């Protein structure tokens, strides 16, 4: 199935999606990777809320290349997904506390995140890694930037997306993950291959 | 050698390596797309090919992770009047490329994580020198992204583990990496040397063009055998299943201590980013597509 969704996303929007579905997004997406996860969660413990409202949001695991144009406005130069597994240990809590509805990334995430997505209603959308010039076409306007002091890749960029995709549902809100399926089948296959090679 | 020429050449190499793929990589990815065996693989490879066309057409970075910068300088180092002037020139070209291409400022302090914003810091860019008697200097830019570099592995095997142990180790590294290094990748394997040499030759092997085979027949066979096995695993483009998982496997070796068997795996993402130029002693610049084996 193919869907076109507008942010902020509702629980209903994401609960209906299945792994293998294709999604195109319109509306605001926030970038956030290692430092955003660390500081948003640390801040919460000390009673501080992050500078953007993640409720119903789309969190893009991305450290973009941005450039200021002649009018002094930021523009997206290249913005593909980063390796999501770096955020494995922090993502379940991030989903629980901030009610993120979709995460865009590459490479998939581990079981605790799959479980959190099922429990709180969120999905993982895969974008082709390294295809950053193509991705930039769906990211029309930079609305702002927060936490720029962490550096260009680690800041929260507030970006307006239009027909952003195709995004493949890699983990749905029903406990299914393409990545776990592939891992299981690779493990089985590796056993056979090693036996054939005489190295098991 | 005129530092102005070196600065211009290094700037162009940085731009070329970040905004395009070498012809052998484009060919391999196109073939991978044509032979893709699943919808997921086909969709990811289609995005990869479209992305290459956009990036090359608009001179825009292929990937937002424009890497940290590793240089290989091969040739007659006597053509350089001063190594410190040369290194300052490389840094100034990198600083300019960071602003103008633009490249993402990736270099940070390893503990404070402070980002100076210009891709320059202690130890970066890293410049390798390979002195030869050739009447020229070849400069290779090798931007290395973190997705693939984070999937680096090395192990000190025991000599009794032998070739079987090497094959097992390489396959396990590829399995552990899954789609994280942006498959389909080029897998570089370094066998022998000391721990640092094994990783160094694994990394250097990634500069060889796709399809290139090691002149030592036994090593060439190992490259073929590992490539075939890796592509039967079914990890596929972006770890979403199918094939290919690797575009090629390159193996390099060095003699090692009789009590050691170091093995290292270093991977390059599908972009296969690299660019080389040869500057002759008269200052003539020629841009080369391929890394030359001595």
Chains A, B: CB pairs < 8 Å:
176
Q: How far apart are CA A146 and CA B2, in angstroms?
A: 44
Q: Find, among B143, B120, B279, the residue nearest to B207 by Cα.
A: B143
**B29 lies in some domain:** no
Q: Grade residue B37 by pLDDT with cuts at 50, 70 and 90.
A: confident
Both B71 and B129 in one domain: the answer is: yes
Q: What percent of chain A has pLDDT over 70?
A: 100
**Residues 6 or more apart from B237 whose CB is under 8 A from it?**
A128, B32, B36, B40, B41, B44, B45, B48, B179, B183, B184, B244, B270
Pairing of strands A139-146, A156-171: antiparallel
Both B100 and B154 in one domain: the answer is: no
For chain B, report the end-to-end CA distance as a whole number of angstroms.
Answer: 23
Strand-pairing partners, residue A66, are A76
**B187 lies in some domain:** yes
**B190 lies in some domain:** yes
Average pLDDT, chain B: 96
Q: Grade residue B294 by pLDDT with cuts at 50, 70 and 90.
A: low
- B291 has pLDDT over 70: no
Find the residue in B nearest to A186 (Cα): B233
**B191 lies in some domain:** yes
**From the list B232, B237, B241, which residue is nearest A193 (CB)?**
B232
**From the list A131, A170, A194, which residue is nearest B51 (CB)?**
A131
Angstroms from A181 CA to nearest CA on chain B: 9
**From the list B44, B104, B239, which residue is nearest A108 (CB)?**
B239
- B141 has pLDDT over 60: yes
**B138 lies in some domain:** yes
The answer to whether the Cβ–Cβ distance between B239 and A85 falls below 8 Å is no
Both B168 and B217 in one domain: the answer is: yes
* A73, burial (CB in 10 Å: exposed 0-12, middle 13-18, buried 19+): exposed
**Residues 6 or more apart from B254 whose CB is under 8 A from it?**
B190, B191, B192, B193, B197, B198, B201
So what's the pLDDT on residue A200? 86
Q: Grade residue B270 by pLDDT with cuts at 50, 70 and 90.
A: very high
> Is A36 within 8 Å of A87 (Cβ atoms)?
no
Q: C-alpha distances in angstroms, B292 versus B6, B212, B262, B288?
A: 20, 11, 25, 9
Q: Grade residue B289 by pLDDT with cuts at 50, 70 and 90.
A: confident
**B115 lies in some domain:** yes
B41 Cβ under 8 Å from any chain A Cβ: no
Burial A123-149 (b: 16+ CB within 10 A, else e): bbbbbbbbbbbbbbebbbebeebbbee
> What average pLDDT does the segment A134-148 reach?
97
- B1 has pLDDT over 90: no
Question: What is the number of domains present in chain B?
Answer: 2
Chain A residues within an 8 Å CB radius of B66: 65, 78
**How does pLDDT run across B105-121, given as a tens digit for each residue?**
999 999 999 999 999 99
Question: What is the number of domains present in chain A?
Answer: 1
Quick one: tokens of B180?
A: 């994280």
So what's the pLDDT on residue B293? 59
Both B106 and B222 in one domain: the answer is: no
Both B248 and B280 in one domain: the answer is: no
Q: How far apart are CA A135 and CA A90, in angstroms?
A: 25
**Residues 6 or more apart from B212 whose CB is under 8 A from it?**
B248, B250, B293
Our answer to whether residue A37 is catalytic in this structure is yes
Spell out the SS3 assignment of chain B. Answer: CCHHHHHHHHHHHHHHHHHCCCHHHHHHHHHHHHCCCCHHHHHHHHHHHHHHHHHHHHCCCCCCCCCEEEEEEEECHHHCCCHHHHHHHHHHHHHHHHHHCCCCCCCCCCCCCCCCCCCCECCECEEEEEECCCCEEEEEEEEECHHHHCCCEEEEECHHHHHHHHHHHHHHHHHHHCCCCCCCEEEEEEEECCHHHHHHHHHHHCCCCCCCCCCCHHHHHHHHHHHHHHHHCCCCHHHCCCCCCEEEEEEEEECCCCCCEEEEEEEECCCCCCEEEEEECCCCEEEECCCCCC
**How does pLDDT run across B5-34, given as a tens digit for each residue?**
999 999 999 999 999 999 999 999 999 999
**How does pLDDT run across A60-112, given as a tens digit for each residue?**
999 999 999 999 999 999 999 999 999 999 999 999 999 999 999 999 999 99
**How does pLDDT run across B52-104, given as a tens digit for each residue?**
999 999 999 999 999 999 999 999 999 999 999 999 999 999 999 999 999 99
Q: What percent of chain B has pLDDT over 90?
A: 96
Could you say which residues from 205 to 234 on chain B have a Cβ atom under 8 Å away from some Cβ of chain A?
Answer: 225, 229, 232-234
Chain B residues within an 8 Å CB radius of A149: none
CATH number at residue A132: 3.20.130.10
So what's the pLDDT on residue B77? 96
Most B CBs within 10 A among A34, A76, A88, A129, hence the mutation to make, goes to: A129
**B34 lies in some domain:** no
**From the list B62, B168, B179, which residue is nearest A132 (CB)?**
B62
Domain that holds residue B180: 147-268
> What average pLDDT does the segment A39-55 reach?
96
Find the residue in A nearest to B148 (Cα): A83
**B136 lies in some domain:** yes
Chain A residues within an 8 Å CB radius of B173: none
B58 Cβ under 8 Å from any chain A Cβ: yes
> Is A74 within 8 Å of A68 (Cβ atoms)?
yes
Chain B residues within an 8 Å CB radius of A20: 40
Both B99 and B244 in one domain: the answer is: no
Q: What percent of chain A has pLDDT over 90?
A: 100
**How does pLDDT run across B150-172, given as a tens digit for each residue?**
999 999 999 999 999 999 999 99
Both B139 and B256 in one domain: the answer is: no
Both B103 and B180 in one domain: the answer is: no
Domain that holds residue A169: 2-197
* A16, burial (CB in 10 Å: exposed 0-12, middle 13-18, buried 19+): middle
Chain A residues within an 8 Å CB radius of B228: none
Both B193 and B251 in one domain: the answer is: yes
Both B159 and B233 in one domain: the answer is: yes
Both B191 and B74 in one domain: the answer is: no
Both B16 and B105 in one domain: the answer is: yes
> Is B18 within 8 Å of B103 (Cβ atoms)?
yes
């Amino acid at each position: 199935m193919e869907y076109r969704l507008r942010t902020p996303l509702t629980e209903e929007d994401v609960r209906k999606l299945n792994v293998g579905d294709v999604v195109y997004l319109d509306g605001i997406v926030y970038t956030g990777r290692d430092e955003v996860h660390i500081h948003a969660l640390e801040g919460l413990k000390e009673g501080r809320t992050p500078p953007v409202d993640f409720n119903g949001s789309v969190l893009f695991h991305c450290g973009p290349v941005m450039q200021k144009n002649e009018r002094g406005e930021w523009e997206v130069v290249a913005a593909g997904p980063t390796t999501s597994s770096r955020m494995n240990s922090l993502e379940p809590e991030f989903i629980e506390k901030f009610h993120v509805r979709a995460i865009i990334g590459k490479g998939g995430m581990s079981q605790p995140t799959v479980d959190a997505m099922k429990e709180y209603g969120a999905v993982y959308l895969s974008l082709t890694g390294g295809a950053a010039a193509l991705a930039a076409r769906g990211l029309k306007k930079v609305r702002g930037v927060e936490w720029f002091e962490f550096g260009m890749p680690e800041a929260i960029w507030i970006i307006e997306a239009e027909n952003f995709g195709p995004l493949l549902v890699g983990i749905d809100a029903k406990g299914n993950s393409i990545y776990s399926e592939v891992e299981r089948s690779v493990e089985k296959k590796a056993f056979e291959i090693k036996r054939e090679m005489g190295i098991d | 050698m005129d530092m102005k020429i070196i600065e211009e050449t290094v700037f162009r190499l940085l731009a070329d390596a970040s905004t395009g793929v070498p012809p052998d990589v484009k060919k391999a990815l196109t073939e991978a797309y044509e032979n893709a065996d699943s919808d997921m693989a086909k969709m990811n490879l289609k995005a990869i090919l479209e992305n290459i066309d956009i990036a090359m057409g608009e001179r825009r970075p292929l990937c937002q992770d424009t890497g940290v910068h590793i240089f290989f300088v091969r040739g007659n180092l006597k053509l350089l009047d001063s190594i410190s002037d040369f290194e300052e020139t490389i840094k100034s070209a990198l600083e300019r490329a960071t602003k103008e291409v633009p490249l993402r400022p990736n270099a940070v302090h390893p503990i404070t994580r402070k980002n100076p914003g210009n891709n320059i810091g202690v130890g970066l860019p890293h410049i390798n020198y390979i002195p030869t008697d050739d009447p020229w200097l070849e400069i290779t830019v090798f931007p290395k992204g973190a997705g693939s570099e984070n999937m680096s592995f090395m192990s000190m095997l025991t000599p009794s583990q032998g070739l079987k142990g090497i094959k097992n180790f390489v396959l396990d590294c590829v399995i552990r990496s899954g789609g994280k290094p942006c498959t389909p990748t080029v897998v570089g394997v370094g066998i022998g040397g000391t721990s640092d040499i094994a990783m160094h030759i694994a990394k250097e092997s990634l500069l060889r063009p796709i399809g290139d085979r090691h002149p030592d027949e036994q090593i060439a066979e190992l490259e073929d055998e590992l490539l075939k096995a890796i592509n039967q695993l079914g990890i596929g483009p972006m770890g979403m299943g199918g094939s290919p998982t690797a575009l090629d496997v390159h193996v390099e070796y060095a003699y090692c201590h009789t009590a050691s068997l170091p093995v290292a795996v270093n991977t390059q993402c599908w972009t296969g980013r690299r660019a080389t130029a040869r500057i002759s002693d008269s200052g003539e610049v020629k841009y080369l597509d391929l890394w030359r084996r001595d």
